[in-house]
Amino acid sequence: MGMKEIIKTLTSSRLMTVMALSLVICQLSFSHAGAQSARSILDKTAAVLSNKDGVTANFTMTNSQKLQVSGTVAVKGIKLYAKTQVGIIWFDGKTQWTYLTKNDEVSVTTPTAVQLQTINPYTFINMYRDGYKYTLNKSGSEYKVHLTATDPKRKIQEMFVNVDKKTYAPTQVKLLQGNKWTLFDISGVKQQKLNDGMFRFSSKDFPNAEVIDLR
């Protein structure tokens, strides 16, 4: 697996949180009661995920080839910490560090505006301000929101977001890009106060790692 593929795998671990948050706080117009109910449910999910002090969660990502990546993610505003068996990403709002476990090396980058659309929830939200139709279903202990794009040029053409009825935390996000589905199973969503130092790489914790500065 090349560097670009590894970084893409790691950064996509944040996508489940970004997706749910994006879909609930964007200003969309709906034409029927079912869609309005979907928005109301996702608004409550946004309240869970947009805690200013920070949010943590566990996830398992499964791609169309059935390859699974599991780990933890922490988000505080635009800051990110994501850890999987492949490696770790830290992003403090300006600098990104990507540590690869297999190679014991960390690359240091300053993401461009385009790259921030992947790792920054606020720039990502702007991509989803409109252009989707909503339907809502209820199944057992969950709400199931289905989104379909009205614009065929949208990168994400279809999404399913499952939300716990009691806590309004997302439990699963399934999205279609091109003709490939990616599934995120989410658990342990927790609001908590996170220290800013959590989102910065510390060489003391990885004394033997090779640091590659790509800035």
Q: Which residues pair with 100 in a beta bridge?
A: 87, 105
Our CA dihedral for 128, 129, 134, 136, rounded to 10 degrees, sits at 90
pLDDT score at 125 = 39
Tens-digit pLDDT profile for residues 102-145: 999 999 999 876 566 555 444 443 344 467 787 889 889 999 98
Half-sphere exposure (CA, 13 Å, Cβ side) for 9? 24
Q: Which residues pair with 91 in a beta bridge?
A: 80, 96
What amino acid occupies position 60? T
Per-residue burial over 71-108, b = 16 or more CB atoms within 10 Å of its CB, e = otherwise: bebbbbbbbbbbbbebbbbbbbeeebbbbbeeeebbbe
Contacts of 130 (CB under 8 A, 6+ apart): 26, 27, 28, 29
Q: Is there a contact between 103 and 88 (Cβ–Cβ < 8 Å)?
A: no
Higher-confidence position of 86 and 201: 201
Tens-digit pLDDT profile for residues 159-195: 888 999 999 888 998 888 888 898 989 999 899 999 9
Which pTM does this prediction carry? 0.72
First to last CA, the chain: 22
Higher-confidence position of 125 and 11: 11
Tens-digit pLDDT profile for residues 142-160: 999 888 888 888 778 888 8
Tens-digit pLDDT profile for residues 32-88: 345 558 778 877 877 777 778 998 999 898 888 888 889 998 988 888 898 998 899
Which CA distances in Å does 20 have to 24, 32, 85, 96, 99?
6, 21, 24, 23, 26
Which CA distances in Å does 68 have to 9, 53, 64, 201?
10, 30, 10, 25
Q: For 102-115, what is the HEC assignment? A: CCCEEEEECCCHHH
Q: Taking each helix axis from N to C terminus, what angle separates 15-25 and 33-49, rounded to the nearest 10 degrees?
A: 130
**Which of 9-13, 147-151, 204-208 has the weakest average pLDDT?**
9-13
pLDDT score at 58 = 92
Q: Is there a contact between 38 and 28 (Cβ–Cβ < 8 Å)?
A: no
